[in-house]
Amino acid sequence: MSDMTTVGTRQKTLKTRISCSGVGLHSGRRVTLTIGPAAIDSGIRFKRIDPAGQGAMIPARWDHVVDTKLCTVVGNADGVVVGTIEHLIAAFSGLNIDNATIEIDGPEVPIMDGSADAFVFLIECAGIIEQCATRRRIRILKRISVGNEQANVALTPAPFASLDFALDFPNPTIGRQEKSVRLVESAFKRELSRARTFGFADEVELLRKAGLARGGSLDNAIVIGADRVLNREGLRYGDEFVRHKMLDAMGDLYLAGAPIEGRFWGARSGHALNNKLLRALFADTDAWSYVDDVIAPTEWSDAEIRQATA
């Protein structure tokens, strides 16, 4: 190994406040949110600023997840919630933002175009600054998995962060898709950030009767018919569906409270299993440890790296 001196990377937050408005995917309600700087070690937190929210401060953390039906919802003990947070949190993860406060005047993050692209744009417009504290990672020490033969997720040790995902739908427009992404440099922005959420046209009415997808449209989701995509502009990527599932997983996993050093594998899974995976991880103190996020040579041999990424 090289004897290069290790250098701790710094925590990051936003340089200034910035706002956007849009419609909630499930509520159909118009909402405004403002993303702003936050102190060292404060993490990412939502603040409900509408009267119904009572000024509640809700950490964007795995142990505050209260619902995972078609989206990830965080809440507090008084029942104040913020839903559909996964795309925004994925943007924070992809841009390495550790600390931020999100003021929001409603119960759901706006869906924007159905991807994380608008949130990436907002964060970059606000600017990103380093803070005087070392960032830390969650190192995976042994395999943790949840699920069954139909759908499952796992975290395994690896010398870097990576995502592997496979989905399989009977609809021929999707079919079976698989993708792997190593989360280095600008990989999130390049590979995943523009992938949109998707749904099936024949399920829309049922979802709306259940109080969901009231704000969904061809402007903020890929809508799939019996044998084709109904959006006039088509797909942004040939495998946009699996890329979006990976984007969702990035948002859900960042609720761990720090970036994860390890390999994530998902098969036909979603928000519920992603949260169960984090709960299983933190329930096993032998499965993980905090380490400083440092720029240093890997302690893994070439053979170990090949095995971890096989």
- Residues recognised as catalytic: 271
Q: What is d(CA 273, CA 279) in angstroms, rounded to the nearest whole number?
A: 10
DSSP of the chain? ---PPPEEPEEEEESS-EEEEEEBTTT--EEEEEEE---TT--EEEEE-SGGGTT-EEE-SGGGEEE-SSS-EEE-TTS-EEB--HHHHHHHHHTT---EEEEESSSB-B-TTSSSHHHHHHHHHH-EEEEEEE-EEEEE-S-EEEE-SSSEEEEE--SS-EEEEEEE-SSTTT-EEEEEEE--TTHIIIIITTPPPEEEGGGHHHHHHTT--TT--TTTSEEE-SSSB-STT--SSTTHHHHHHHHHHHHHHGGGSS-EESEEEEES--HHHHHHHHHHHHH-TTSEEEEE-EE---SS-HHHHHHHT-
Hunting for tokens 């400083």 — which residue is that?
A: 292
Q: Could you give the CA distance from residue 24 to residue 32 in angstroms, rounded to a whole number?
A: 10
